[in-house]
Structure 1
Amino acid sequence: MSVLVVGMSHKSAPIDVLERAALDVDATLKLSHLVLDAPFVTESVVISTCNRVEVYVEAERFHGAVEEVSRLLAEHAGLEREDFVRHVYVHFDEAAVAHLFGVASGMDSMILGESQILGQVREALHSAQAESTVGSALNALFQQALRIGKRGHAETGIDRLAPSMVTAGLDAAGAVVDAPDTRFLVAGAGTMASLTVRTLIDRGVDPQRIMIANRTYQRAYNLVATFGVSAVRWQALDVELSAADVLISCTGSNGFVFDSARIAAGAQGRPMSLIDLALPRDIDPAVRELEGVQLIDLIVLSQLQANAELAADVEQVRSIVASEVGTFLAAKAASHITPTVVALRTMATDIVASEQARIESRLPNLTDDERADVRKALHRVAEKLIHSPTVRVQQLVDGPAGLTYADALADLFALDQSAVDAVTQVGDPS
């Protein structure tokens, strides 16, 4: 059994392809179950964010699982096989573990070190737990990834550049965000919208200068109750657009919510900053042609580079990830070895009991003390014979060679390969 990830992100695919592959909550749940139903797959977790879609599975067979997961992703995105393969990546075992740990640490994000991804990884795990698509293997992997993400942010300054995509977008918008009279319109009322409102307020923006618009008014009103901002019904969106200086859109719609004509009517020739945090995009890129309109979308954010002073933090996080990958894999290997060692000790105990019974039947005149001495002697011999091999097996598996248990047995006992194969086939749970 091995961990496998098949994914697509801003590093492997252009925005228009990512838009087609993007998953809403219902689609994410559906995909996770379809993947779990695929041959050779025993667990699944799906991560879907504004710049990545990744499917993690615990698989019995590498090639079969890759084929099935890739087919399901391609079908969802409506991509032909050749187009899909061009933009997808596959990581297996150690590389898959290292990839997830890097993702959770913000090292694979558009904005290096952004912390929002940590919450998204947590949400993916919680969703898989609620849907019962995750088991002990992926649960342990994701729990470790969350701990590593927290550790990276706690021990380094990796998130100084931008703790989230929202912060990065606001920073890119410039001085207008911090001007005392700027009015903000947030389109959407989901997780990203909530994060946007919280970030604005944390930056000192008066909640009364923040307006929320959402198709479902009750969800917008929930933000009113939480943050003290204002809300407007979706039908009045254009009225509020004409009063806003900064529009931040994150609706999760499947098509453009704001085209050039709508933005032009709202701006009315005055300067306006637009921050599009949605995937698929909410704002037509053609609005860049409008005079006085500034558009910051995922393409712009992906082009932002980490400044030089973060180089040491980046290297420190990479070091943390590399170390944790080794620790996780060693623990995983140990978990596979333990049942075999237990079985070996059980077998030795059974042999001791059998030999003791044989001796006692042949020597019926032994005293109780003599029987106890025989029993202790047999146990000491068995323990001494087992101790060194079991310790050596563990060292071989944990060592730099990364030996399998079959390799360890062959190295330890100089066994013929046919003998090793016979042992591992009998004990192989798959």
Structure 2
Amino acid sequence: MAGSVDVPAVTLATCNRLEIYAEAPSESKHDLAASRDELVEAVAEASGVARDTISSSFRTLVEDDAVGHLFEVGAGLDSAVVGEREIAGQVRKSLAEAQEAGTVNGTLTRLFESATRTAKDVGARTALGSRGRSIVSVALDVAGDLHGDGAAFYPGASVVLIGTGAYAGTALAQLQERGVSDISVFSGSGRAGQFVAERGGGARALAMEELPAAFAGADVIVGCSGGNRQITADEIRRLAGVGDDGRDRPLTVIDLALSHDFTPEVAELDDVELITLESVKMAAPQETENSVEQAREVVQASVREYLEERRRRTADDAIVALRKHTQQLLDGEMEKVRKQHGCTAAAEEVEFAARRIVRKLLHTPTVRAREMAAEGRSDDYVQALEDLFGLEVGSREETERRQPAKRRRAEEFSAAELAQMAAHLQKVPDGGFCRHHSPGEFQVERLEVAQRLTEAQAS
């Protein structure tokens, strides 16, 4: 979805949320509204859901509010299970995927990296980090309690896992931690075998024809595929043998998919308990007030630090813009002097004096820029520069999307490029990086074909 819009964007999709972090071209109401409309259109196009429904389903947070929200999300303070541990990894993974796809820019990269560091600080400095709870772990705890044995239920249990995504991976790990040895994995996409192999085995991949027998022998069925098709109550009754004389134990169905892998009617079946995200949230243990308050203090301090750093960067950008503007004026005037007087000692004296005057003139504006940044008034300073000098203060850092670097193969270089490489390599000592550095100071992998050209030209 992020790849279909023009603005830099990162999508954060978890079992119960879809969030999109994007940077509009400016802070104007027009640009903010236009960027939001573009994102809404992209979600509607990707999901097939009506645009009005998409628009009304999202709430929009801007600037500081958006920063604070992401930091809380990453720390697990906005989760169904407060302090859940998976969300920080999902925040980190979202950034990595955006970087790989080339939909992110420098601003969003720093934002997500800061949120990840904050989540680590919360884990290290508060009691939330030691709980190790997650939506998956709470759901499995509830299932164990429903069977009356708690943790002792799982070593002898038979579990069918539906799905091969991130939450399926978490569920498999949690089941293995609880001592479950009979785990079967099914995926309608056919990826179950690869999923199991990538996680070191410990489970069995199911083919479609094996599903009825697996359901019939299961104590727990965990759904976290988030696919378009839901398993109905009638299918559970038929496949798992519910209500028949052949089934002699209760069945627990855990639905961890936001779009639901099972229809609500499953809960009405005899001897079947349905656990959903909503019931997990209700059953989640309440964290102590002190732990949550400590975590919020860590998050708030990190948000303040991030925003202060961003204001300092804005002030630095303004200083650079002012200095560049002044330098351009000075260079223009000195060009006139040189045309009239040539590169004489007198011209050099004039330039020396002019540059000294410029440095003194810029001292006070530079100091005030940093003072106003510390006061949270960087925008006032930028506005003043724009009003007084007609400057357009932009970020020195990359604001466009960062396209992923592409490594070119030898056959992708033209003959002219290879000849240019060969000519350059002739000037470089063996083992060197360039003619300005001694051999061994740097090392660089050379294209074999360029090396052959060098040798041919030398001979």
Q: TM-score, normalised by structure 2?
A: 0.72
| Alpha-carbon contact 2:317-2:393 (below 8 Å) kept | no
Structure 1 residues 392 and 307 mapped into 2: Cα distance closer, same or farther (>3 Å)?
Answer: same
| Alpha-carbon contact 1:58-1:138 (below 8 Å) kept | yes
Secondary structure (helix, strand or coil) at the match of 1:257 reads coil
2:185 counterpart of 1:212: yes
| Alpha-carbon contact 2:122-2:129 (below 8 Å) kept | no
2:353 counterpart of 1:387: no
Distance 1:427 1:217 in 2: 53
Q: What percentage of aligned pairs have identical amino acids?
A: 29
Q: Which residue identity does 1:421 align to in structure 2? A: D
Structure number with larger C-alpha Rg? 2
Secondary structure (helix, strand or coil) at the match of 1:184 reads strand
2:14 counterpart of 1:49: yes
Match of 1:233 in 2: 207
Distance 2:194 2:357 in 1: 75
C-alpha RMSD of matched pairs (Å): 3.4
Match of 2:303 in 1: 325
Structure 1 residues 387 and 220 mapped into 2: Cα distance closer, same or farther (>3 Å)?
Answer: same
| Alpha-carbon contact 1:105-1:152 (below 8 Å) kept | yes
Answer with 328-337 or 48-57: which moved more. 328-337
Structure 1 residues 404 and 171 mapped into 2: Cα distance closer, same or farther (>3 Å)?
Answer: farther
Residue 287 of structure 1 deviates from its aligned partner by 1.6
Q: Of 164, 170, 175, which residue of structure 2 is paired with 1:200?
A: 175
Q: Which residue identity does 1:54 align to in structure 2? A: E
Distance 1:95 1:291 in 2: 47
Q: Which residue identity does 1:45 align to in structure 2? A: V
Match of 2:260 in 1: 281
Answer with 284-293 or 376-385: which moved more. 376-385
Match of 1:397 in 2: 373
Q: Which residue identity does 2:380 align to in structure 1? A: T
Answer with 151-160 or 378-387: which moved more. 378-387
Distance 1:276 1:148 in 2: 30
1 or 2, which has the higher strand percentage?
Answer: 1
Q: Which residue identity does 1:92 align to in structure 2? A: V
Q: Which residue identity does 1:196 align to in structure 2? A: A
Structure 1 residues 298 and 332 mapped into 2: Cα distance closer, same or farther (>3 Å)?
Answer: same
Residue 220 of structure 1 deviates from its aligned partner by 3.0
Deviation string for 1:24-51 (max 9, x for gaps)? xxxxxxx112223xxxx2x011122211
Distance 1:290 1:296 in 2: 13
Q: Which residue identity does 2:116 align to in structure 1? A: L
Match of 1:67 in 2: 37
| Alpha-carbon contact 1:269-1:291 (below 8 Å) kept | no
Secondary structure (helix, strand or coil) at the match of 1:59 reads coil
Instruction: Provide the aligned length of Structure 1 versus Structure 2.
Output: 377
Distance 1:304 1:254 in 2: 27
Residue 258 of structure 1 deviates from its aligned partner by 4.7
Q: Of 92, 95, 108, which residue of structure 1 is paired with 2:62?
A: 92
How do 1:8-407 residues align onto structure 2 when only pairs under 5 Å count?
31-36=1-6, 41=7, 43-60=8-25, 61-80=31-50, 82-159=52-129, 163-173=133-143, 174=145, 175=149, 178-179=152-153, 180-203=155-178, 205-207=179-181, 209-216=182-189, 219-220=192-193, 222-223=195-196, 226-263=200-237, 265-266=239-240, 267=242, 268=247, 270-309=249-288, 311-345=289-323, 382-401=358-377, 403-407=379-383
Structure 1 residues 84 and 231 mapped into 2: Cα distance closer, same or farther (>3 Å)?
Answer: closer
| Uncovered stretches (5+) of structure 1, i.e. residues with no partner | 1-30, 410-419
Q: Which residue identity does 1:404 align to in structure 2? A: D
Q: Which residue identity does 1:247 align to in structure 2? A: I
Structure 1 residues 69 and 347 mapped into 2: Cα distance closer, same or farther (>3 Å)?
Answer: closer
| Alpha-carbon contact 1:152-1:320 (below 8 Å) kept | yes
Deviation string for 1:232-260 (max 9, x for gaps)? 32321110111111111122321213534
Secondary structure (helix, strand or coil) at the match of 2:206 reads strand
Q: TM-score, normalised by structure 1?
A: 0.76
Secondary structure (helix, strand or coil) at the match of 1:252 reads coil
Distance 1:192 1:113 in 2: 16
Distance 2:88 2:315 in 1: 32
| Alpha-carbon contact 2:213-2:239 (below 8 Å) kept | no
Match of 1:417 in 2: none
Deviation string for 1:85-107 (max 9, x for gaps)? 44320011111111111111111
Distance 1:365 1:186 in 2: 83
Answer with 320-329 or 210-219: which moved more. 210-219
Structure 1 residues 334 and 271 mapped into 2: Cα distance closer, same or farther (>3 Å)?
Answer: same
Match of 2:387 in 1: 421
Secondary structure (helix, strand or coil) at the match of 2:228 reads coil
| Alpha-carbon contact 1:215-1:233 (below 8 Å) kept | no
| Alpha-carbon contact 1:217-1:234 (below 8 Å) kept | no
Secondary structure (helix, strand or coil) at the match of 2:122 reads helix
